[in-house]
Structure 1
């Protein structure tokens, strides 16, 4: 009698060998309630990588898609095939929802885990001329970019930091973020006061990994608890819109997810929390990808288990890149937060039409929320429809009673690495990094192939 395989074969894709980065065929299989990527390198042998702990959610992501939104132009030709042609090449399937503008390699910390391998030892900054070129490339690609995030290294160490902000602010960019470890925000109140002058459409993306000394020292090398407290105090004082960004490591700080969400809800300036499982790229001290990796589905379940607000129907795939992005929204009210995501009819959302919302609450609330998320908004009000909101754009300027201050979002943002890279999914990546030469490259592939000296290795792979 024929013997069955121990798994269910679901689909075929392409990946890379985690050792040599050579492109390989890969099977996606279901086994014991989990989803795995199976691949084999002729030189380095087979690999079995866990990519999801929730088969039903994984399959739902395949249904939660929308028509691809293209950039206004392409930056590179198709020559070697994905992921060796970044970018963006004409084979990519998503424009830039968020583009990182890295202005320096220098940092005032030397975190044991850093995808950019930044440190105080790296004393290189992008010149204003280089930054102008990178910004011009972002605008040329997008016309009116949704989000540009100023990053590094630690961008606040750049000697011309405010000149860079002015340069970004004068361009037709809808929303500006500054990605920071918060050291300067904690120590310099006047610096924060000046940052607040860039509101509205400006936000701090604040590193906020844990409330515990052990976890902070393992991830950041130092105990940052007091720094975080002072930073939040300054941000609350000026009501400077802030997202708390949590780098997650399995067994280290993942049990704090619910506590961090609740903390964020209690802070005047905090508009949401983003959870980012560690991407196996760059500097990775004391990190074993076999035991320390977290999948999006695991983080999603932890949010559901630990949060008193966000439940299963509240954490949905984001249609532009459903494999790697999940999102839940809540409305902050005097009576506590009200989950919003569950009120959306996903079929209407994905069809691109007017959203159907089912309300079991009073008509006044219904009226207020529809006013906030009306699809018939004017450019002057810049209010967003729910359809736009769920495409990870944190841009809500609405009537006084329901403003950006009242909307709270929880996002899971997973970046693929050499272990779980799925070329099918890479093509949908919408978080990109501006290369100094003007290319716009997906975050996932940038850190694998295009950062610093890694491009030399890429040239070898392109010839295989």
Structure 2
């Protein structure tokens, strides 16, 4: 919707929209009221969720900046029906902040948050060896965390979770950090089950010594991979000739038996035509255990975009179906129930002798789990319930022992391909997940309150992913972490421990009016 039509839409809402003295029906259904933020000034404001032409939109008005409207979901019927997958949240063992100013300005997690942390993210540095046009972290030289800071953040993660499932080291580019291997060891030492590096792959492709160190500590990888064409990488990464380096990195990881989830950012008009080829590549490559498609969300550094034309999960699912000639179809994908169901969809598939068998075709998830009451059908044991719920959790990572155990347990009740040994499940399984993050145009407080992916910060705060990247947390945290860098350097130079300092947030008058 262009500015002229958007203004007319807003005027119609304000005036009643009728003409000639007779009432008329709206061309949309008012689905719900939530809170969001103004994309311009970041003030917390009310927002309406509207259903029109089988699409879901967010409409909001800032008293200072005017009206805004954005596409939220490209299938209104699915958006409404997925509410049945919304299961009760799991409460963390401890909170990081009080409920004081109200969501979204009490993050840390506060007692009003509706879910624990499935995935903890630690940005170990802000520098990167790329300058991507699309970068929600807006990576640039600034800070580089110390081992003391990272260990404190990991200890706090354990304090709130008991035994955390997954931690992901990110950046910037985390492989540039001189102590990244020590960080991986520190996470495993705290019995965190799964440790990931979020990387562009450059150092892996070039550095033999680093590859040897990775083989010893054996993390998994969340690997930036947007497609195959030069124009794709020029538009999204600013480096049109980077593909060969990425393929080399993946081959080197396969040679030492490490698992990879490739992560394509899908931007309309750039690489949506490559989705099927990405799926086929992932199925065939020995290192790749999963794909996480991320519709491009416009936070941090990004190009000009139309929020009414953004990619959403349902459209990517349809493109997967079309471009894989039906190897995967829409009904193969199931909403992830631990966060808000429209934020994630996932499927798992067994691959044997070139045949792809999506798990939902041999296990009817609706018959096994009752997400409304969060209980299993009485005929099945709690163990199988736990296995299946875990398989559809945001903490499941393709190729992990936990994921393999869950599949092995669930296979007691289904007919898997002949000859599939439990110990070889990881090698025969592919995960496809779709993760739609919210940006300032689509931020929905309701969704944020059940987010299970949190940024971990010095001092113990845990900030939901979309809140951190849209509301203003990132900017404040970055400024404080950068300001601490001179003291970190002095501590390193003098050979003494660095005393971590907490991050403090102040949003002033940005609270809801």
TM-score (norm 2): 0.81
Correspondence 1:311 to 2:360: no
Whether 1:428 aligns to 2:447 is no
Equivalence map 1:102-181=2 (5 Å): 102-119=123-140, 122-181=141-200
What CA RMSD, in Å, does the superposition of the two structures yield over aligned residues? 2.3
CA contact (8 A) 1:251 1:292 kept: no
Q: Given that residues 355 and 386 in structure 1 are in contact (C-alpha distance below 8 angstroms), is that contact kept between their aligned partners in structure 2? A: no
For 2:432, the equivalent position in structure 1 comes to 410
Distance across 2 between alignment mates of 1:85 and 1:347: 39
- By how many angstroms is 1:353 displaced? 4.3
Tell me the distance in 2 between the aligned counterparts of 1:384 and 1:269. 27
2:390 match: 388
Distance 1:41 1:63 in 2: 32
For the residues of structure 1 that align with 2:96 and 2:162, how far apart are their CA atoms? 14
The separation in 2 between residues aligned to 1:187 and 1:37, in whole angstroms, is 45
Distance in 1 between residues matched to 2:506 and 2:63, nearest whole Å: 19
* 2:301 equivalent to 1:299: no
**Distance in 2 between the 1:94 and 1:212 partners?**
39
Which residue number corresponds to residue 466 of structure 2? 444
Which residue of 2 is the match for residue 366 of structure 1? none
The CA distance in 2 between the partners of 1:346 and 1:69, in whole Å, is 21
Give the direction of change, closer, same or farther, for the CA distance of 1:14–1:452 in structure 2 (3 Å limit).
closer
Q: Secondary structure in 2 aligned to 1:5?
A: coil
Normalized per residue, the structure richer in helix is: 2
Q: Structure 2 matches for 1:218-367, cutoff 5 A? A: 218-222=235-239, 223-284=241-302, 286-290=303-307, 293-307=310-324, 308-321=326-339, 322-342=341-361, 343-346=363-366, 348-349=368-369, 350=371, 351-354=373-376
Query: Which residue in the other structure is 2:45 paired with?
Result: 24
CA displacement at 1:412 relative to structure 2: 0.7
Instruction: Give unpaired runs (5+ residues) of structure 2.
Output: 1-21, 406-420, 478-503
**8 A contact 1:396–1:403 mirrored in 2:** no
Please state how far the C-alpha of 1:190 moved relative to its aligned partner.
3.9
Structure 1: segments with no counterpart, 5+ residues: 358-369, 378-382
Relative distance call for 1:354 and 1:62 in structure 2 (3 A) is closer
SS of residue matched to 2:403: coil
Which residue is equivalent to 2:215? 196
Of 46, 64, 77, the match for 2:85: 64
C-alpha deviation, 1:194, in angstroms: 2.7
SS at match of 2:94: coil
1:34-73 residue CA offsets vs partner (Å, 9 max, x unmatched)? 1111111111122221111211110122111111111111
Paired with 1:336 and 1:444, the residues of 2 have a C-alpha distance of 37
CA contact (8 A) 2:44 2:512 kept: no
Q: Is the 8 A contact 1:314 1:341 kept in 2?
A: yes
CA distance in 2, matches of 1:437, 1:298: 40
Question: Per-residue displacement from partner, 1:175-221 (whole Å, max 9, x unpaired)?
Answer: 1111000001111244223313334xx31111001101111011111
Output the CA distance in 1 between the equivalents of 2:377 and 2:92: 25
Deviations along 1:374-427, whole A, 9 cap, x unmatched? 9648xxxxx971221111312334554543222211011111111011111111
Q: Which entry has the higher C-alpha Rg, 1 or 2?
A: 2
SS for the counterpart of 1:441 is strand
Rounded Cα–Cα distance in structure 2 between residues aligned with 1:28 and 1:11: 5
> 1: distance between equivalents of 2:330 and 2:309?
24
- SS of the aligned residue for 1:453 comes to helix
- Counterpart CA distance in 1 for 2:512 and 2:76 is 37
User: 1:260-317 CA deviation, whole Å, 9 max, x = no partner?
Assistant: 0110000111101001122221111x33143662122222222222233221211111
Contact map agreement 1:70 1:93 (CA 8 A) in 2 = yes
Q: How many Å separate the matches in 1 of 2:199 and 2:170? A: 7
Query: 399-408 vs 418-427, which deviates more?
Result: 399-408
SS of structure 1 residue aligned to 2:434: strand
Which position in structure 1 is the counterpart of 2:113?
A: 92
The 1:297–1:320 alpha-carbon spacing in structure 2 relative to 1, beyond 3 Å, is: same
TM-score of the superposition, structure 1-length normalised?
A: 0.89
Indicate the residue corresponding to 1:362 in structure 2.
none
Q: Choose the corresponding residue for 1:54, options 71, 75, 84.
A: 75
How far apart in 1 are the matches of 2:378 and 2:423?
A: 22
Do the aligned partners of 1:397 and 1:403 also contact (CA within 8 Å) in 2? Answer: yes
